[in-house]
Structure 1
């Protein structure tokens, strides 16, 4: 999992550092953000101190109505040794008691010009993206007609060569050899390429080629949601391969199941065309058109009609 520190969000959102500069290297471990309304009223029994604390107009208006002792007490209790930051929105004035407490506890107090709801939404999206569970898979990721297709298989089976043919046919490469995958949502996997090998393809006999240099900027993209996995394996005469497409296999990546197809490789099979058609067929299925099911239903109708005629 990637690490996010307070100084990263300062740079990302161009926040003004008011106080607590010693704590800008604190780790942010949670994507949840807290708006401490009950805490301002004095209820700290369930204070989520490990979250970023966001103070908007409502919270500051309330705290400014308290007497000096209560205001000092509440703001001091907001600042703990695990609080990554306290952020003031709308460019509002920061209470002097908060500045003093944050300096003692080294809790960064930051200020944004954005409205509270808008800033909270942007910060949450950023943290969820950066702190999402990640893994790496040996394979190739290609964008085919808007479908992110992850091509996997044993070394030497022809993944990169197939990807090169797909790029020549107008599709876009995201990553070759190593695909970094992060789970951004319960059912959303996004694949990217390691920076070191971005836009590069390794072709045995040719070596490393730069896809963007050879085919242009339209032949690559930086990231893509993974919707389909194609497993390339050498043809095994003893194995029974799916010929109708009724059986749907899945592959689990992190906590998400992705549709998986196994395509046998042998001389004479045009893998790039097969994978291209697989992506188009996958799109059709998502639109409610399933050729295999339609054939199966027609076959069942023919069998039933034959049985009725025999009677």
Structure 2
């Protein structure tokens, strides 16, 4: 089961440790759902999701401060479940004394943030969804081309890494080489990133491993990007028919997301970096409503109609 330590949650969301700093690595989050324990403050614990991060904002804290000491102590004790990862207080609101006592007794960290509750909840949810999502490792190279995530695939030795190097020299950015970790962020978005051991590294046959950030600067790399397009490189075969007009649409299903795919034949003398760059630009034009293939087909139909009238 995937899990995230509270220490990672603190670092990624700029949280302030109010109490329980010694237990940040011992407590773990296993779900991206965030709990706002309003009902629990009233004493309703029939369904208490103790495994969630317990986020308290203005509503919860103001209600808690109006409770009598004995009841507040009882409620805070019940909220400290065995699997409760942490309490998070938004807007730098004051922490109830009873919460501090109960959390300390059960070794549960208390964290604070200056952010409003809704924004903080969204920020933590996005982080946890990314870290806890199911992941798949794909063979390929992921490059950011004009802000578009392009996954370059193909057989080993077809020239994926060399093409990526050309794209980097043309001002584009590397995300991952050889292995791409992919996870689904939402119903329409796949995110790709490099495994930690391969971040910023590129393998060029005959040269070896190069550090792209060290050679080309921080502007030549990104940690992750949304994948919008798959470009598959395939060795040129005269017996195989490749799409010449761009009308043969292909797609690849990864998790629940369908990604468009373009197959490009590789042949000596073809500049693959420029071709992939143009393919990315053409895909973006299509998403913005301009399809050169349809323009050509319309022009062709108009020409046929004109010739028919003149004949």
Give the TM bin, normalised by the shorter chain: 0.7 to 0.9
Measure how far apart 1:114 and its partner are. Answer: 4.0
Matched residues in 1 for 2:295 and 2:23: separation?
A: 66
Task: Find the counterpart in structure 2 of residue 240 from structure 1.
Answer: 241
Matched residues in 2 for 1:241 and 1:281: separation?
A: 18
Count of residue pairs the alignment pairs up:
310
Matched, 1:7 2:7: yes
Measure how far apart 1:304 and its partner are. Answer: 4.8
Matches for 1:197-216 after TM superposition, within 5 Å: 197-216=198-217
Matched residues in 2 for 1:229 and 1:31: separation?
A: 29
Matched residues in 2 for 1:167 and 1:80: separation?
A: 50
Measure how far apart 1:193 and its partner are. Answer: 2.5
Task: Find the counterpart in structure 2 of residue 272 from structure 1.
Answer: 273
Q: Is the 8 A contact 1:133 1:254 kept in 2?
A: no
Matched residues in 2 for 1:11 and 1:225: separation?
A: 23
Deviation per CA, 1:133-169, whole angstroms, max 9, x where unpaired?
Answer: 3222211122223322111101011111222222333
Matched residues in 2 for 1:120 and 1:179: separation?
A: 29
Matched residues in 2 for 1:83 and 1:131: separation?
A: 17
TM-score normalized with structure 2 length = 0.87
Matches for 1:104-253 after TM superposition, within 5 Å: 104-253=105-254
Deviation per CA, 1:11-57, whole angstroms, max 9, x where unpaired?
Answer: 44242233595575122012221111122122222322221111223
Matched residues in 1 for 2:122 and 2:17: separation?
A: 19
Structure 1 residues 102, 263: CA separation in 2 closer, same or farther (over 3 Å shift)? same
Matched residues in 1 for 2:20 and 2:176: separation?
A: 42
Task: Find the counterpart in structure 2 of residue 72 from structure 1.
Answer: 73
TM-score normalized with structure 1 length = 0.87
Q: Is the 8 A contact 2:5 2:24 kept in 1?
A: no
Matched residues in 1 for 2:276 and 2:114: separation?
A: 49
Structure 1 residues 232, 114: CA separation in 2 closer, same or farther (over 3 Å shift)? closer
Moved over 6 A (4+): none
CA RMSD after TM alignment: 2.7
Task: Find the counterpart in structure 1 of residue 91 from structure 2.
Answer: 90
Matched residues in 2 for 1:222 and 1:112: separation?
A: 25
Q: Is the 8 A contact 1:232 1:262 kept in 2?
A: yes
Structure 1 residues 34, 205: CA separation in 2 closer, same or farther (over 3 Å shift)? same
